[in-house]
Every structure is written in structure tokens, then in C-alpha cells.
A and B are shown apart, each in its own frame.
Chain A
């Protein structure tokens, strides 16, 4: 168990809809990262938050947005969903207040299927 919790584990929704994916980082971790993994593909970096502020942005579509709350949990919002948005969405966390972690710890992912 990595200590990173993602909900829900599975999500099936129709095109045009909006969904919210939730991530609770490891206790004390300040950074949250979101990655998208399409079928048999690598991990595409979407966005990073550090202690509530956006730190880095990757190839995130305008239809997608994210935020990190004061309790450090994060949400990824996906709107106007298209079939091509079907993927595994990972959240990862790192960087505790006490020391800079080197690696990121991953949640189990949310499997999004758009039909």
C-alpha cells in the first residue's frame, strides 16, 4: 500500500458528461501529480500541485482542470468527455514537510471509461 488513495477505482460515463476524480496523498506529502495512461501507453504528465498551488503543467486539455485543497487532497475534473478520454488516471504524491522525497508514490488509479 503506497498510502495514496484514489477514488473511485472505476468510472463509466457517457460522452459529454463531467466527472471528478479524487486523490488523497500520503500523510504529510505536499505535492500531488496527475498522470494519464491510455491503453498500453506510457504515463502522460497532466499537472502538479504543491501545497495548494499549481507547480507545473503538462499536456492537459482545456476541458480538464484540477485543484489542491487546504487539507492537501486533490481533485481532477474532466468535462465534455470524449471517447478518447478513456484511460487510467493516476495520482502520485511526494515531498513531505520534513524532507524532500525523491520518488513519487502512486495510487492505484481510476479507470475511466467513456461510452
Chain B
């Protein structure tokens, strides 16, 4: 069974600095998607960024980028120029590409932004 592990329950970063959130996953599949979702205090689940496993290029969305290491099964999220609005719970998630299957979430990392 696929699993997603986030080893950092909480992290803090100074405003305007850069922070990296870690995620590892386990799967026997070769074709899949990886995601980072953000859950602010409103509790809404918001997609931050998506990576297709067949793409070697790391995904980027404005200040958010990932470091996807397929062989190591690692998928970290880098937030540049951190802003107060980035404070949230961040969930790493996995989904098989070839099956319309459930999305499996890690336990989350709570990110604090220090002014």
C-alpha cells in the first residue's frame, strides 16, 4: 500500500525567508501524481502545487516550487519569500495516475511565519 510521510510536525520561518517542507512516499507504481495542499485556519483545502511523476522537471508556482527526487521517493516543497498568509497546515499527497483512486495524505506540517 502506498504511504506518505511528513516527518516535520511543525516548522517556523521568518517572514521573507525561505523554508523547505519535507515529504517522502512509498509506492511500487511508476506513474503517479504528487501534490501539496495548504489548509489555512479557515480549514479549506487548497491545492498549492502538482507534480507528475513522468515529468523530470520540477513544478513551480510563483513562490512555491518542489524538489522531486523519484528514485529517492522524496517530494519537498520550497516556499520563497515567505509571507504571513503562508501560515497554514501543509499536506503532501499521492495519487496513482492510471487508476481513479483515492488521494493519500501525509499527516501534515504546521508552518508558522514569524513577523
- Chain A residues with CB under 8 Å of chain B are 2, 30-31, 33, 35, 37, 41-43, 45, 48, 50, 55-56, 58, 88, 90, 92, 94-95, 100, 102-106, 108-109
Question: How far apart sit A58 and B2, CA to CA, in the bound complex (Å)?
Answer: 13
Known: A56-B102, A58-B102. A102 touches B44 (CB 8 A): no
Main secondary structure of the interface of A (DSSP, over half): strand
B71-110 contacts to A, CB under 8 A, are 91, 95, 97, 100-108
Question: How far apart sit A75 and B111, CA to CA, in the bound complex (Å)?
Answer: 33
Is B11's CB within 8 Å of the partner chain A? Answer: no
Max count, chain A CB within 10 A of own CB: residue among B37, B43, B50, B100 = B100
> By the criterion CB–CB under 8 Å, are A103 and B35 in contact?
yes
B39: min CB distance to chain A, Å: 9
The residues of A that contact B103 with a CB separation of less than 8 Å are 33, 45, 92, 103-104
The residues of B that contact A90 with a CB separation of less than 8 Å are 45
The residues of A that contact B50 with a CB separation of less than 8 Å are 102-103
A43: min CB distance to chain B, Å: 5
- Against A, the Cβ 8 Å flags (1 = close, 0 = not) of B25-55 are 0000000010101000001110100101000
- Chain B residue nearest to A102 in the complex (CB): B33
> By the criterion CB–CB under 8 Å, are B43 and A48 in contact?
no
Question: How far apart sit A105 and B45, CA to CA, in the bound complex (Å)?
Answer: 8
Known: A31-B100, A42-B108, A48-B102. A108 touches B43 (CB 8 A): yes
Known: A42-B105, A102-B33. A109 touches B91 (CB 8 A): no
A75: min CB distance to chain B, Å: 18
B8: min CB distance to chain A, Å: 13
> By the criterion CB–CB under 8 Å, are B91 and A43 in contact?
yes
- Chain B residue nearest to A56 in the complex (CB): B102
> By the criterion CB–CB under 8 Å, are A33 and B102 in contact?
yes
Question: How far apart sit A27 and B18, CA to CA, in the bound complex (Å)?
Answer: 38
> By the criterion CB–CB under 8 Å, are B47 and A103 in contact?
yes
B52: min CB distance to chain A, Å: 7
The residues of A that contact B43 with a CB separation of less than 8 Å are 37, 88, 108-109
- Chain A residue nearest to B6 in the complex (CB): A42
